[in-house]
Structure 1
Amino acid sequence: MTSAGLYPELDEAALAQFVTALESGDTSTLSSELAEEATQARGKVEFLKVRVPVDPAPSEPGVSVELDGAVCMPRGAGPFPCVVMPAPWTDLGWIAYAAQAAQLALKGYIALAYTPRGFGKSGGKVEVGGPLDVQDGSAVIDFMLANLPAADPSRIAFLGDSYGSGISLLVAAHDPRVRVVGALSTWGSLGEAFYENGTRHVASVAALRGAARNARLSEQTQWAFDQVQNSESISPEILGWADERSPLAPWCVDRLDRPDLAVFFSHAWHETLFPVNQTLELFNRLSAPAKRLNLSIGDHSSPEMSGILGLPNRIWSDAHRWLDYHLKGLGELDGNTVVSEIMWSKTLESHPDWEAATGTHARLYLTGPASGATDGRLADKPQNDWNTVLLTGTDTAATVADAIIKTGYAEMAGNPKAYPTAQISRTDAAVWAGEPLTATAKVRGTPRLRLTCEPSTAKATFVAYLFDVAPDGNASIITHAPFTALGATPGEPVVADIQLQAAGYDVPAGHRLMLVLDTKDPFYSDANEAGSKLTLSSPDGAPSHLDLPLA
């Protein structure tokens, strides 16, 4: 996987040519939009490349480490508000922000973009938002204030996409000079992003490794990635490593929750790298009034990508308004903290908080199949005299996505993955379907599944998928979640009580809701033993059910 593996539409050549145009004035290779922006910037903006000295790793004392970066700033004495931009998880480094930095400078900001250690032309090794990355962020502020006399020390923001967003939050938690944060496609809990309901996100780590194949990973980073990919369970040491890098960790979230810090988040509903729930929890944990969350159709960084390429973009425009208001006192905010783009209408809904954005939970009970049928029902009353037995270890047509991140671009284009539900093996999956809807079902919030299962061995994994099924039998995925039990007693019930990932989804009238459960998905680790079985049931007094938030 190339660096563009996490960002399939990232046009590295165009951004590199844009930097060349800023230096030379030659716009002949650029699109008309980038050529116009480069020409404007050449007349009004000063552009310079920089090398920022930072501390070496403790294991490499005396080693000289510098971060590669660049500055776009207005001409004039200032003082100007400052935006520091740590680059995404790509060898392209700060160049990924070249167009955005020029736009910010044209609006009166000093924009300093830099490549985090271990990537591109920066020194050091990749620490995944570790303490050295946090120290580096403060060192970049020091460098900016020491070398750019027009920089206003009282008006500093950190703005980043993907890897740069997590670093931005962590730096803000440690350095009170940061007054505004823009965290686009970010993470809240790195531990939960890698390890959900006892299940390792092996595809996420594989994608990160593939995209960083030219980067220099620290030994600790390699060890952590190895553990997530290859160990049966996550050790306390790995969770401690993740906690140190998680804005949602108690030590960090309390520092972010300060009245003088304004935080802007953006995320995608079907995020496969950093699933939305852990970022949503971080957003809800912040009690300070200056926060905003923008939720979109797509996957990791895809809703923001056109803005990175210098094109008009809703997310980046919203982030710019956030900066203008909190750093320059310009414009007005609408008072809403949550804006969500609904699948598949693309309708934008605005709400004062997450609670107002969510629906009221309606309980649907899982029943056994009727005589002669293979599928159970999603019903309004419980039925507790059934069980379903699955053979484990076989993937079915129910999957999270065709490919990590790339499927999200098709969703943005209005072409979500089609799941032919008739092709889902009823031997290897359990299926429950509702009746055709008489009105649109507005799914708003976090569904919750409670299910009793009995593994035939000490270990079991399943993945639950919620689908919107059209009358022709083809479905679109609404949300999903994995679950793994380790150390179970064979034949004894295990209760899975799990949150599916949050969703903003309209299921049209005439369509049906369908819950599918199978035991293997390439996105996740698989604890099932060869030849094992999984028995699903709904015992008296504790019926299996799905709580669905409906507006």
Structure 2
Amino acid sequence: MGRPYPALRTTASIATAAVLFAGAALTAAPAAAALPAAPAPAASAPGPEFHDIPGSGGITLKGNVFTPAGAEPGSKHPLIVLPTSWGMPQFEYFAQAQELADSGYVVVSYTSRGFWLSGGEIEVAGPPDLADVTSVIDWALANTPSDPDRIGMGGVSYGAGISLLAAGHDKRIKAVVALSGWADLIESIYSGRTQHLQAAALLGGAGLLTGRPSEELSRTLASFLGSDLAKEGNMIAWGKKRSPAAFLDEINANGAAVMMGNAWGDTIFPPNQYASFYEKLSGPKRLEFRPGDHATAEATGLLGLPNDTWTDAHRWFDRYLKGERNGIDQEPPVQLKSRTDSGYEGYPDWKSVGAAQERIALDGTQRILANVDSGANGGLVMLSNALDQFVKLPPLASVPLLPRAFAGVWQSGKYAAPQHIRGTARLHTTVTANKESGTFVAYLYDEGPLGLGKLVSNAPYTFHGRTPGRPFPVDLELFSTAYDVPAGHRLTLVIDTVDPLYIEHNPTGSQLTFSSSPADPSYLSVPLREK
């Protein structure tokens, strides 16, 4: 039997969420201007009821239920299920759940297995987590006034990943809102075959502090952080089983309407893998990118404050669970907000975002010594790109002062007019190493007249088993972004070998040479057009 707390209203929810905001930071589409406002409900929904919900395998999940005001026995309301983010308890979505219940939804949120007071161990969106989703839906249909034909899933970060995966495993799910999640777990924390050190350590540490990691997770994380290449195949298989991209056919066959949102600077789940997955979805879909880092774009909404991401999440559920003709399906489905502009831009698909490409030639030969940080780096996980979001302060580097012994530098000419960067920059070059293994990181800067560079994008690359002294080609995607370059500035590519965000694999005494030839010229292709 649930215990009602009718006095726990939205204001209390906001206060609770405020206490949890710091934890949310660890885990973790514009509204249509001309649309008429929805009529206010006749009465606010009562506060949450707390329940022990049976999960899969006999465990108990701690959850809460928000029910619309005046819901009568036998009435049927659309159901939204919200699994919590990594390390977060069941109170995470109080503010948003209250708003959804006020507009007519039954909302069930639960602490994901292995965390806080929920039973089981942390399985990282493995099969037991997906079985939990089915169990929670079954329980909700049996114990709340929920409509079995109108079921949605949503969440932030971990909750987003579970929701996307569940859409391929439970055909009852009709709509999904996945915010700051992942589509490909390996491409998220192991892109360029480089371990994302700070991201993995943050997630691992938060898991230990707030939950009970499974033996499989502990073993996989130890291999990952320990650079155990002999077990790389096992790790990749483990990640694939937890990646919505591996279940694309099932998700498309089930046909749920999928809205995905993420931040340009997400240092845990970078935007490229989300955009690639979005393009392959065949059902109703929407993709939104905004400035910020992991879960910061939607964080204020968890406090009950006005938030574009959550506004569109509600509109998405209203369209595909209530059938409201609110216009969200008539807008361009790809919605972007530049890191340097307050407005939104709409595109028909992701490939249209970076359709215009300009090649910057990387002429000559540059040799750099490894194992020393040149001063160019991607910042700190969760912090640097949040500063970029809120105070327009991305990671900086003084290009003239970068030591050329440890950093390769290539510069474009100065642009006479402002330029838009939208989409994904791609590096093609030829590398010669004096060791069989190595790591380098490519950085794209907006360099001003005084040589101060503002980080536009970056990406790491690691290789193993190469013959020393033998050149080999490299093609590397930098992390997607939307950035405006002022007139009089230039674009500068910097390559070095050490970045605190990543684990590097340069043996002592390593040197890397970057070269270009007439037969195979090196270049940086930038999605650039005049503003």
TM-score normalized by structure 1?
0.86
Q: What residue in structure 2 maps to residue 255 of structure 1?
A: 250
Q: What residue in structure 2 maps to residue 9 of structure 1?
A: none
Deviation at 1:229, TM superposition (A): 0.9
Q: Distance in 2 between matches of 1:141 and 1:221?
A: 26
1:491-502 pair list within 5 angstroms: 491-502=469-480
Of 284, 288, 294, the match for 1:294? 288
Q: What residue in structure 2 maps to residue 506 of structure 1?
A: 484
1:64-213 pair list within 5 angstroms: 64-75=58-69, 76-77=71-72, 78-90=75-87, 92-148=88-144, 150-213=145-208
Q: Is the CA contact 1:153–1:177 (under 8 Å) kept in the aligned structure 2?
A: yes
| Secondary structure of 1:68's aligned partner | strand
Of 392, 408, 413, the match for 2:390? 413
Report the CA distance shift for 1:299/1:25 in structure 2 as closer, same or farther (over 3 A).
closer
Q: What residue in structure 1 maps to residue 456 of structure 2?
A: 478
Q: What residue in structure 1 maps to residue 31 of structure 2?
A: none
Q: What residue in structure 1 maps to residue 56 of structure 2?
A: 55
1:449-464 pair list within 5 angstroms: 449-464=427-442
| Secondary structure of 2:527's aligned partner | strand
Deviation at 1:94, TM superposition (A): 1.6
Q: What residue in structure 2 maps to residue 338 of structure 1?
A: 334
Q: Is the CA contact 2:429–2:516 (under 8 Å) kept in the aligned structure 1?
A: yes
Q: Distance in 2 between matches of 1:327 and 1:432?
A: 51
Cα-to-partner distance string for 1:229-284 (whole Å, 9 max, x where unaligned): 112536211111101000011xx011111373100000111111011111111101
Cα-to-partner distance string for 1:275-311 (whole Å, 9 max, x where unaligned): 11111111011122x1001100001100000001110
| Equivalent position amino acid for 1:316 in 2 | W
Q: Is the CA contact 1:96–1:308 (under 8 Å) kept in the aligned structure 2?
A: yes
| Equivalent position amino acid for 2:52 in 1 | R
Q: Distance in 2 between matches of 1:41 and 1:204?
A: 45
Q: Is the CA contact 2:15–2:303 (under 8 Å) kept in the aligned structure 1?
A: no
Q: Distance in 2 between matches of 1:167 and 1:126?
A: 13
Q: What residue in structure 2 maps to residue 239 of structure 1?
A: 236
Runs of 4+ with deviation above 4 angstroms = 19-34, 40-43
Cα-to-partner distance string for 1:306-334 (whole Å, 9 max, x where unaligned): 00111000000011000011111122223
Q: Distance in 2 between matches of 1:217 and 1:414?
A: 36
RMSD (CA atoms): 2.2
Deviation at 1:32, TM superposition (A): 13
Of 276, 280, 290, the match for 1:281? 276
Deviation at 1:178, TM superposition (A): 0.3
Comparing 496-505 and 406-415, the one that deviates more: 406-415
| Equivalent position amino acid for 1:410 in 2 | L
Deviation at 1:43, TM superposition (A): 5.0
Q: Is the CA contact 2:407–2:494 (under 8 Å) kept in the aligned structure 1?
A: yes
Q: Is the CA contact 2:5–2:49 (under 8 Å) kept in the aligned structure 1?
A: no
Of 510, 513, 516, the match for 1:538? 516
Matched, 1:426 2:422: no
Deviation at 1:550, TM superposition (A): 1.9
Of 528, 536, 539, the match for 2:506? 528
| Secondary structure of 2:506's aligned partner | coil
Report the CA distance shift for 1:24/1:301 in structure 2 as closer, same or farther (over 3 A).
closer
Of 318, 325, 330, the match for 2:319? 325
Q: Distance in 1 between matches of 2:193 and 2:47?
A: 51
Cα-to-partner distance string for 1:444-496 (whole Å, 9 max, x where unaligned): 11111011111111111100000101112222111111111100111110211
Q: Distance in 1 between matches of 2:446 and 2:4?
A: 48
Q: Distance in 2 between matches of 1:134 and 1:466?
A: 39
Alignment length, in residue pairs? 497
Comparing 331-340 and 291-300, the one that deviates more: 331-340
Deviation at 1:352, TM superposition (A): 1.7
Q: Distance in 1 between matches of 2:131 and 2:16?
A: 39
Q: Distance in 2 between matches of 1:275 and 1:41?
A: 42
Q: Distance in 1 between matches of 2:430 and 2:245?
A: 30
Q: What residue in structure 1 maps to residue 34 of structure 2?
A: none
Q: What residue in structure 2 maps to residue 393 of structure 1?
A: 371
Q: Distance in 2 between matches of 1:141 and 1:26?
A: 25
Q: What residue in structure 2 maps to residue 515 of structure 1?
A: 493
| Secondary structure of 2:414's aligned partner | coil
Q: What residue in structure 2 maps to residue 376 of structure 1?
A: none
Of 306, 313, 319, the match for 1:312? 306
Cα-to-partner distance string for 1:399-451 (whole Å, 9 max, x where unaligned): 111x1011222111133233222332211110011121111121111111011
Deviation at 1:166, TM superposition (A): 0.2
| Secondary structure of 1:134's aligned partner | helix
Deviation at 1:540, TM superposition (A): 3.1
Q: Is the CA contact 1:450–1:497 (under 8 Å) kept in the aligned structure 2?
A: yes
| Equivalent position amino acid for 1:296 in 2 | R
| Equivalent position amino acid for 1:82 in 2 | L
| Secondary structure of 2:375's aligned partner | coil
Q: Distance in 2 between matches of 1:154 and 1:426?
A: 63
Report the CA distance shift for 1:25/1:499 in structure 2 as closer, same or farther (over 3 A).
closer
Deviation at 1:194, TM superposition (A): 2.1
Mind listing any 5+ residue stretches in structure 1 that lack a counterpart?
A: 1-18, 35-39, 57-63, 369-386
| Equivalent position amino acid for 1:329 in 2 | G
Q: Distance in 2 between matches of 1:270 and 1:26?
A: 31
Report the CA distance shift for 1:320/1:397 in structure 2 as closer, same or farther (over 3 A).
same
Report the CA distance shift for 1:152/1:345 in structure 2 as closer, same or farther (over 3 A).
same
Q: Is the CA contact 1:20–1:26 (under 8 Å) kept in the aligned structure 2?
A: no
Q: Is the CA contact 1:465–1:480 (under 8 Å) kept in the aligned structure 2?
A: yes
Q: Distance in 2 between matches of 1:32 and 1:158?
A: 23
Matched, 1:444 2:422: yes
| Equivalent position amino acid for 1:475 in 2 | G
Report the CA distance shift for 1:152/1:392 in structure 2 as closer, same or farther (over 3 A).
same
Deviation at 1:140, TM superposition (A): 0.3
| Secondary structure of 2:85's aligned partner | coil
1:21-60 pair list within 5 angstroms: 23=7, 44-56=45-57
Report the CA distance shift for 1:117/1:204 in structure 2 as closer, same or farther (over 3 A).
same
| Secondary structure of 2:457's aligned partner | strand
Matched, 1:367 2:363: yes
Q: What residue in structure 1 maps to residue 225 of structure 2?
A: 229
Cα-to-partner distance string for 1:17-66 (whole Å, 9 max, x where unaligned): xx9985457968976999xxxxx99953252101111233xxxxxxx410
Q: Distance in 1 between matches of 2:13 and 2:309?
A: 27
Bigger relative contact order, structure 1 or 2 (CA pairs below 8 A, ≥6 apart): 2
Q: Identity, % of aligned pairs?
A: 37
Cα-to-partner distance string for 1:159-180 (whole Å, 9 max, x where unaligned): 1000000000111110000000
